[in-house]
Chain A
Amino acid sequence: MQLLDRYLTAVKFWLPQKHREDIAAELAANLQSEIDDRAAELGRPLNDDEIAALLKQHGSPILVASRYQQEHRTVTFGRQLIGPILFPFYWTAIKVTLVLLLIPGIVPAVVLGARTHGQPFSQFGHALTRVAWLSLPALLIVTLVFAAIDFGLRKFGILEKWGSDWDPRTLPTPARQAKQVRRSSSIAGIIIQSLFILWWWNHGSIPYLVVTNAGAQVHFAPVLTALYVPVLIIAFIHLAQHWINLAEPDWRWLPPAAGLATSLLGLIVLYPLLGTSPLISISQPNGLPISAREAAQIHYILGQCVNWLWLGIVVVGAIYAWRLAWIAWQSLPRNPPGATKNGVAHV
């Protein structure tokens, strides 16, 4: 029954967390009954090829799991834009996008408002309005991206091709699947990297809602413009890694490999900036001027951030290198216990 276990583990990977165990147990009972029934007809247990054929007929894990998505929700605007298979991923993306916009958009504004003018509630209101305006294009972009993916899947029949080319015998063992890159981690990574790329693409000024309530805008100093392309490359490497891991969760060597590569790139790029000043410039287009003391504080904090960032990347790079080495070590072929070079076991 190893093949059935591998299949059920793969289906579980795509099932909604809340009903995962229950659905898998029911599916297991039904498939087991079918296997028993066919075995009774043949008068012998099914072999692996016959079980594989039965599982293939049942459907690829992602398709089977997609049918269990609650309520078959879709996004429709005249015609269906996002179907029930992609909808759960789309809904997760929308929620993560909103959280990513709300937390950095509102919390600092309220904290700064409370510290400088004692008006956290009015700051909260202003920040909320700004976040709402920022959210509209962000949510629209997320929706368009998912609609394009859905269109591509339907137009080119990718899921059907995936289903027909799929072979249950290629599924990894449950133990190996347990070590796969988590789906939630890949989806969160895709959303975070996409939003970051969108922001960085237009990085002329740090979004003012993040930094000051006095109308001043904080810009990157010219020295930091050298970071533009390398940071974009780093973000695209991570974005590609998350997409690949969403399709190939078994490639668990990829996150540490990408992390190590981008850490090294980050160290090379950041090194010339250590001790460089100023890293930012401040302008007050229409608001109250920011005091020299506050400006010096921001300069100091950013300088420290660069130092700590460099140190952080060294540590993170070392962790990635260790993880990569560990995965490589685990993947090395080994002789079975007790075997010798000549294949003769010690007694």
Chain B
Amino acid sequence: MSLDLNSDLFNNLRLELRRGLLIVAVLAQLRHEHYGYTLRKDLVALGIEIDEGTLYPLLRRLESQGLLESEWREENNRKKRFYKLSREGRAILKQLLAELEKINASLTRIV
């Protein structure tokens, strides 16, 4: 198997692994209100690399699923859309974190 194929395979697996975890990170970070740009900045500062092209549409998708709620508000003379966890989002996040902890504990035992 060539090096390129290995690296493609690794990237695909890495993307799959990150996809679900990114959602958990976004939901957890939105326990406090943020708008898109500051949310991304905070996530990057906390070591979660996520590009705008992924994050901004993800926020809208999570909102359409009822996990987030949003409102347009003015800040520094500019209108921005602020997101925060909805009540349903809080409940789901709690379940997801418990699930993550279980998987992590199992993985630690396996590895």
Contacts and interface: CB of A to CB of B under 8 A. Distances in A.
Given A25-B79, A32-B78, A67 B38 contact: no
Given A29-B81, A33-B78, A34-B52, 4 more contacts: A30-B80, A64-B53, A67-B54, A67-B56
Nearest to A69: B57
Closest 3 CB pairs of A and B: A33-B37, A30-B36, A67-B57
Contacts of B41: 37
Interface in A1-55: 19, 23, 25-27, 29-30, 32-34, 37
B60 interface: yes
B78 A26 contact: no
A68 B60 contact: yes
18 contacts: A23-B60, A26-B60, A27-B56, A29-B37, A29-B81, A30-B35, A30-B36, A30-B37, A30-B52, A32-B78, A34-B37, A58-B52, A58-B53, A59-B53, A67-B56, A67-B57, A68-B57, A70-B64
B53 A29 contact: no
A224 B79 CA distance: 63
A30 B81 CA distance: 9
A216 interface: no
Interface of A: 19, 23, 25-27, 29-30, 32-34, 37, 58-59, 63-64, 67-68, 70-71
A226 B77 CA distance: 68
A251 to B, nearest CB: 28
Instruction: Please tell me the size bucket of the interface on B.
Output: 10 to 19
Contacts of B80: 29-30, 33
A67 B35 contact: no
A19 B59 CA distance: 14
A284 B105 CA distance: 78
Given A33-B80, A68-B60, A26 B36 contact: yes
B53 A67 contact: yes
Contacts of A30: 35-37, 52, 56, 80
Contacts of A29: 35-37, 78-81
Contacts of B81: 25-26, 29
Contacts of B36: 26, 29-30
A63 B53 CA distance: 9
A114 B35 CA distance: 61
A70 B60 CA distance: 9
B91 to A, nearest CB: 22
A34 B38 CA distance: 9
Interface in B29-66: 35-38, 41, 52-54, 56-57, 60-61, 64
Contacts of A33: 35, 37-38, 78, 80
Nearest to A33: B37
A37 B40 CA distance: 13
A32 B52 CA distance: 13
Interface string B66-101: 000000000000111100000000000000000000
A116 B84 CA distance: 65
B61 to A, nearest CB: 8
A30 B64 CA distance: 19
A19 B37 CA distance: 20
Contacts of B60: 19, 23, 26, 68
Interface-centre pick from B35, B57, B79, B80 (highest chain A CB count, 10 A): B57
Contacts of A27: 56
Contacts of B78: 29, 32-33
A70 B64 CA distance: 9
A41 B80 CA distance: 21
Contacts of B57: 67-68
B67 to A, nearest CB: 15
A32 B75 CA distance: 12
Contacts of B79: 25, 29
A19 B63 CA distance: 14
Contacts of A64: 53
Contacts of B54: 67
Contacts of B37: 29-30, 33-34, 37
B72 to A, nearest CB: 8
Contacts of B56: 26-27, 30, 67-68
